[in-house]
Amino acid sequence: MRRLLILASAIVFVDTMFFAAIVPLLPGLSDDFDLSKTQAGILSGSYAAGTLVAALPGGMLAARFGPRRTVLVGLSLMSLTGVGFALGQGFVLLVASRFLQGVGGAFSWAGALAWLVRMAPRERRGEMIGSAMAAAIAGVLAGPALGAAADAVGRGPMFLAVSLVGLGLIALMLRVEAPTRVPSSAGGLARAARSSAVRFGMVLILVPGLVFGAIEVLVPLQLDDLGAGSTAIAAVFLLAAGLEAIVAPVAGRISDRRGRLGPSAFGLVASVVAAIVISLPDSALVLGVVVVVAAPWIGMLWSPAMAMLSDGAESSGVDQGLAFGIVNLGWGLGHTAGAIAIPAFADASSDDAAYGLLAALAAATLVLLLARRASVERAIAASTDQG
C-alpha cells in the first residue's frame, strides 16, 4: 500500500507541477505575446479545458482497461506535450500543448486515484485521498518555483527535464501491483447521476476549481500591476500551496471520522470570505498575505468532496476509475470557467465585480448544501451501509 501511495502521489505531483508552472510565467508571456486578460485566461485555462474534455473518456478507460493502462497513456501524453511547451514559440502552440497536458492529466488522475481507492481500506478512503491531494498540492507548490526557474533560464531546459521525470514514473509504475478490474454494473452511471452524494461531491469539487482558476489568472496580473516580480509571485503561490498541502490530509481524516459535510461547509464559507477579501488590498505585500492565508481553507473542500463522490459512485455500482473521471469533470468545469470566463468578465467589468461573482456563487452553493443536507447525509449513509 505504501508503494502505491508513493506512486499515486508522485504522478499527481508531477502533473500539477506542470499545471501550476504557468503562474509566474503568465505576466511575461502576456507581455511577449501582447495578451489581454481573456487571452491570458485561455492560456492558463487550456489545461483545465483538456481535463474537462478527457474527464469521462479517461474514467471509462480506467473502468474498462484498468488503472495501469490509463496511467500509462496519461504519463506518456504528459511527457510528449511537455516537450511542446518547452520548445513552443507561438501562442497557439503553447495553448495546444497545455490543452493536451490537461488531457494526459485526466487519464493519469483517473487511473492513479482509482488504483489507490480500490486498494485502500474503506474507513481510510478520505485520508488516502487527502494524502494524494497533499502531493498534488505540493506539485502546485513546486510549479511556480519551476515556472520562476524557467523564467530565469528558459522554458526549454526546465520543461524538457520534467518531461524526463514522466518517463521515470512509467518505469516505477510497472513495478507496482495492478488491482483486479471491478466492472461497473449496468446502468451504474445513470444511477450515480441520481445520487445526491455524487451530485454534491461534483459541485463541491467544481467550486474550488472555479475560485482557484480565477485566482491563478487575476492575482498574478494584479501582483504584477502592483510591482511584484515573477519570483515574488512564485513565492506567494508556493507558500499558499504549502499550507494547503498540510490541510488536505487533515481534512480527509476529519471527513472519515466526523462526516463529509462539516469540512465541506467550512470550505465554502472560506471561499466566500476569500473572494471578498482578495479584492480589497492595494499593495502587493498585503495581497500576497491574503492569498497565502486563504488558499488552505478554500482547499479544505477537495478531500471530503472527492471522498463523498467516491462513496456515492461505489453505492451506485460505478467503477472508481469512472468515479474519478467524474471528479476530473467537476474540476475541469470549475477551473475552465474560473480561468477563462471569470477573467473575461473582469475584462468587461472589473476585478472587483469578478471577485463578487465568485463570492456569490460560493455562497449559493453553501445555501444549497445546507438546504439539501438531509438528502446528502442519507445518500452518504446508504453508501457506507452498502460498503
In a domain, 197, yes or no: yes
- The pTM score is 0.75
Rg, C-alpha atoms of the chain: 19
Beta strands (DSSP E) in 195-352 are none
- CA-based nearest residue to 111, from 74, 165, 138: 74
Q: Which element (helix H / strand E) includes 168?
A: helix 155-173
Residue 214 has which C-alpha cell?
480565477
Tell me the three state secondary structure of residue 140: helix
Whether residue 358 lies inside any domain: the answer is yes
- pLDDT score, position 367: 93
Distance CA 200, CA 267 (A): 14
How many Cβ atoms are within 10 Å of 161's Cβ, its own excluded? 14
C-alpha–C-alpha distance, residues 234 and 146, integer Å: 9
Question: Range of 40's domain?
Answer: 2-178+188-386
183, part of any domain: no
Q: Give the separation between CA 338 and CA 315, rounded to whole angstroms.
A: 31
Cite the DSSP H helix spans in 88-153: 91-119, 125-153
> Which pLDDT value is given to residue 110?
87
Q: What is the CATH number of the domain that holds 347?
A: 1.20.1250.20
- How far, in Å, CA of 73 to CA of 77, rounded? 6
Q: Are 79 and 130 in contact (CB under 8 A)?
A: no
Give dist(CA 146, CA 283) in Å, integer: 25
The answer to whether 65 touches 226, Cβ cutoff 8 Å, is no
Q: Is residue 164 part of a domain?
A: yes
Residue 205 lies in a domain: yes
Helix (H) or strand (E) holding 214: helix 196-225
CA–CA separation, 363 and 109 (whole Å): 29
End-to-end Cα spacing for the chain? 20
Spatial distance between the Cα atoms of 150 and 93, rounded to a whole number of angstroms: 17
Whole-number Å distance between alpha carbons of 88 and 19: 16
| Euclidean distance between CA atoms 50 and 4, whole angstroms | 26
Provide the CB-side half-sphere exposure for 129 (13 A, CA). 33
The b-or-e profile of 231-242 (16+ CB within 10 A means b, else e) is ebbbbbbbbbbb
Neighbours of 185 (CB within 10 A): 12
The pLDDT value recorded for residue 384 is: 55
pLDDT truncated to tens, each residue of the chain (387 aa)? Answer: 677 888 888 888 888 888 878 877 778 778 878 878 788 888 888 888 898 899 888 888 888 888 888 999 999 998 888 887 777 777 888 889 889 989 998 999 888 888 888 777 777 777 788 888 888 878 877 777 787 777 777 777 777 877 788 888 888 887 776 665 555 544 556 777 777 888 888 899 999 989 998 998 899 889 989 999 878 887 888 888 888 888 888 888 888 888 888 888 999 999 999 999 998 998 999 999 999 999 999 988 888 888 888 888 877 777 788 888 888 888 888 888 898 899 889 989 999 999 999 999 999 999 988 888 777 777 666 655 555
Based on the structure, what is the number of domains in the chain? 1
The answer to whether position 283 is within a domain reads: yes
- DSSP letter for each residue of 293-354: HHHHHHGGGHHHHHHHHHHHHHHTT--HHHHHHHHHHHHHHHHHIIIIIHHHHHHHS-HHHH
Cβ pair 91, 30 in contact under 8 A: no
Close Cβ partners of 349 (under 8 Å, ≥ 6 residues apart):
none
Q: Is residue 51 helix, strand or coil? A: helix
| pLDDT in the model for residue 186 | 46
How distant is the alpha carbon of residue 148 from its chain centre? 21
Is the residue at 244 inside a domain? yes
Which three-class secondary structure state does DSSP give residue 1? coil
Q: Say which DSSP state 182 is in.
A: -
Cα–Cα distance, 96 to 105 (Å, whole number): 14
Instruction: Specify the DSSP element, H or E, that contains 295.
Output: helix 284-298
Q: Is residue 285 part of a domain?
A: yes
Beta-carbon contacts of 171 under 8 Å, excluding residues fewer than 6 positions away, are none
- Per the CB < 8 A criterion, the answer to whether 320 and 117 are in contact is yes
